[in-house]
Amino acid sequence: MRRPLIAGNWKMHLTPSEGAALATTLRQRIGMRSDVEILLCPSFVALQAVSEVIRGSEMKLGAQNVFWRGSGAFTGQVSPPMLCAVGCEYVILGHSETRGRFGVNDPDLDTSVLPYFSETEATLNRKLCAILPHGLKPILCVGETLAEREAGHTESIIRAQMEGALQGVAGDELYDLAIAYEPVWAIGTGRVCDADEANRVCGFIRQTLRDLYDDELAETVRVLYGGSVKASNAHTLLHQPEIDGALVGGASLNAEEFEQISYCAPKR
């Protein structure tokens, strides 16, 4: 049975002291749960502070990104060994915001600056291959923009994202993989993919794993939904048969809201 995974992506929010305070509250409320896996993904600068708070609890620590080299002259980057050293067990890879695919219109994110967010399937493949030998568990994000959905390209976009990121990776290396379906048009916009449609796309992701690998891996990998998840819609989403958890953005910054979301996950 796939244990539900509820992951909080704090994005570029919370200083180390603020992150430690939120983690302290969450530890008191849900820190010892074993029926659902709880994952906190703060910014790089808050990883150490959050790690110290959740040590000894059932909660896990994850990073929002990683670089594919262990060390070197790569200014501003963070390596897999560095993440392991502060207690990380998971890494988010390929979030739409690191790909330069934003759901929210922002006047500062015009076409002249979007190349700064230059994540591609090739870089994701390097990152995935780099973290696996260190025992870090990838959460691979996939999803389409509104224009791609309206053009009927949802499945082809997601399959291409999966094929590119997983190229050359053997199935026996991927049993700790999670894949998060995050429709770009629903991230931070308040729009939520209809639960039946989210379930259908998550089922497509699982079928793609069968096509690329085998039934055993497809039934083992957890497929999450992300995109404006909150307590008011989590129950409907998390009780879909193909959805094994949630990658929660803004709602994960509120302890009560995140706790409520975690209790929406069914026992499997």
pLDDT for 187 equals: 79
Active-site residue, from 95, 97, 144, 259: 95
pLDDT for 242 equals: 97
Q: Is 182 annotated in the active site?
A: yes
Axis-axis angle for helices 121-131, 154-166 (nearest 10): 40
Report, at the CATH architecture level, how domain 5-262 is classified.
Alpha-Beta Barrel (3.20)
CB atoms within 10 A of CB 133: 10
Output the pTM of the full model.
0.96
Active-site residue, from 37, 182, 257, 259: 182
3-class state of residue 140 by DSSP = strand
pLDDT for 105 equals: 67
3-class state of residue 220 by DSSP = helix
Nearest to 219 by CA among 177, 180, 165: 177
In contact, 107 and 149? CB cutoff 8 Å: no
Q: Where are the domains of the chain?
A: 5-262
Model confidence pLDDT, tens digit, residues 91-118: 999 999 999 888 776 777 777 888 888 8
Q: How far apart are CA 208 and CA 171, in angstroms?
A: 13
Nearest to 1 by CA among 252, 265, 234: 265
pLDDT for 88 equals: 98
Nearest to 250 by CA among 242, 262, 258: 258
Regions of the chain with pLDDT less than 50: none
In contact, 182 and 227? CB cutoff 8 Å: yes
54-65: b (≥16 Cβ within 10 Å) or e: beebebbbbbbb
pLDDT for 255 equals: 98
Q: Is 239 annotated in the active site?
A: no
